[in-house]
Amino acid sequence: MKIMALNGFKDIVPSEVELWRKVENTGRDIFSRFNFSEIRMPILEKTELFARSIGEATDIVEKEMYTFVDKQITMRPEATASLLRAYIQHGLYVQKPVQRLFTIGPMFRHERPQKGRLRQFHQMDIEVLGTPNPRVDAELMAMGAMLLEELGIPVSLEMNSLGCPVCRPGFREILLTFIADRKNELCDDCNRRSTTNPLRVLDCKNPKCREQVEEAPSIQKHLCNDCDDHFASVQKGLDSLNVQYSLNKFMVRGLDYYTRTTFEFITSDLGAQAAVGAGGRYDGLVEKLGGPKVPGIGFALGMERLVLLLQQQEVKIDSAKVDLFVAGLGEKASEFAFSLAHTLRQNSLNIAMDYEGRSLKSQMKQANKLNARFVLIIGENELEQGHAVLKNMQTQEQQDIEIHSDNKEIASSLLLRCQ
RNA sequence: GUGGGUGUAGCUCAGCUGGUGGUAGCACCUGGUUGUGACCCAGGAGGUCGUGGGUUCAAGUCCCAUCACUCACCCCA
């Protein structure tokens, strides 16, 4: 029986890593343009951290976490809680009143895997701590849009406000009344949701529920003055940056901690997994985790989903080019090639060679497949006479190279010719 | 946790109403005169047909079970 990776856990093989690096490098580039600093946290945390931040009653905490029960530690199901824990633990709020942080790494949730959804998955997570300013909300969305645009991934941005502890409870009551009135029209799931998370009824996928919910009260019309002002300012900010978006009064969040602004970047090319990025404001969370009373906002991008989209678009990346393939013919020449290759590498050239004593034809084929720019052919006779042949694989030109001298001199002469 | 679909070479897949596993494509290796890649040609290697039962003279094919993968629901990035 072959040993295979766990269900929902995937290897990222070399041919895929190129795309992953593209996603990650583009992310890092954009984040630094917006003056974000990277932070890295451990993958294991105390279980309590997630229970407190994400919410005891959420599916994630109730049944999807990888927890070592005996030790009460858990592999993080998302990044925000860990990041805030680190932010509080190291007193980062003292060093800078507003912290702009990002982190990239794996998360773990024990869900049934499907397209764009794995048990170990990777996110780029961005958080701004310490400011309630609605411009930051707009700026974050604009940054996400910029990143996706530079990756060439078309998405739509949807936004909503979830209100705050002042106005949300009131809306919840209104919504509950609405749901109760249509109890018989709504699906079983929605009736269950009405007790667990009533807002969820708003984004049920069941067509019948959708129809019913069409006339549901809009939270956007039940915001308190502060939330309403904030919501308006965010929209003004987006407009001033020319970011396209639409308001979606049905969009809610699965995690308890969100307040006010909430948003998603949505694609239509990933089946059921429409959201490639999502986030929102969480003004009470830092305090709830034992930190100072500072507001925060953040979002996460699902890297698997981004990579899938790039794969679907058949985006190709140039693989790292080999500068020079050193082809040695016969034992003596191979030995010479072996040590010369090392010197060339010390001089920063990307060198490949054959180790199996294969024919020149075979070595040329390998060089070609590796996209080598040059091949240095070292034969037995030439080696004795102190020269070798340097072939430019593109132009097919060949020239004689002196190899009388020591490796260092050969290397510097090759460096010049391989520019 | 609940449903549907699919398991044949490293990958993508043919294989009809049961009758000897495909000259299939890609990839790989070796050749196509002396020491030169791409294109082309020839050859080669590579498989307990996911696994275990059952029906049958005979099972990749039919039945049952099981495992894996996959898509969707729930939930979520």
CA A111 to C1' B61 (Å) is 35
How far is residue A216's CA from residue A175's CA, in Å, rounded to a whole number?
7
Nearest nt by C1' to A277 Cα = B77
Nearest nt by C1' to A308 Cα = B77
Nearest nt by C1' to A361 Cα = B36
The answer to whether domain A14-167+223-312 has CATH 3.40.30.10 is: no
CA A314 to C1' B60 (Å) is 34
Q: What is the pLDDT of residues A61-109, one digit of tens each?
A: 878 899 998 999 999 999 999 999 999 999 999 999 999 999 999 999 9
Please, is A69 exposed, middle or buried when counting C-beta atoms within 10 Å of its C-beta (0-12, 13-18, 19+)?
exposed
Stretch(es) of chain A classified as CATH 3.30.930.10: 14-167+223-312
Report pLDDT for A1.
52
CA A239 to C1' B70 (Å) is 42
Report pLDDT for A36.
97
The answer to whether domain A324-417 has CATH 3.30.470.20 is: no
Nearest nt by C1' to A276 Cα = B77
Report pLDDT for A182.
84
Those nucleotides of strand B lying less than 7 Å from any protein Cβ are 1-3, 28-32, 35-38, 68-77
Burial A269-300 (b: 16+ CB within 10 A, else e): bbeebbbbbbbbbbbbbbeebebeebbbbbbb
CA A13 to C1' B66 (Å) is 30
CA A163 to C1' B15 (Å) is 61
Which residues of chain A fall below pLDDT 70? 1-2, 254
Report pLDDT for A2.
66
Stretch(es) of chain A classified as CATH 3.40.50.800: 324-417
Report pLDDT for A127.
97
